[in-house]
Amino acid sequence: MEREGLNEENMEVLCEEEKMLINLYRSLDEDLKKDFSGMIYMLFRHSKDQKIQEILDKFMQCA
C-alpha cells in the first residue's frame, strides 16, 4: 500500500478484491492498459450516479 500512498489515516485499507484488481492492472502491457481503460469507460459512461461519473472522469484523465 505504500506504493499507492495509502495509509489508514487518509483511506480505508484495501480489500482483497481491490488488491487483486491493482495486481491485474499492473501486469498488463501498455496496449492492454489502454484497452482496459476503454472497457471501464464503456461500462460506466451511462451511469446516472454522479460520484461514479466524477471518478470516471478522473480515471480517464490519467489513463
- Please report, for the chain, the start and end positions of each structural domain, with discontinuous segments joined by +: 16-62
pLDDT band at 13 (very low <50, low <70, confident <90, very high): confident
Q: Confidence band (pLDDT; 50, 70, 90) for 63?
A: confident
Cα distances from 8 to residues 14, 20, 46, in angstroms, run 10, 19, 32
The reported pTM is 0.66
**In the predicted structure, residue 42 carries a pLDDT above the cut 80:** yes
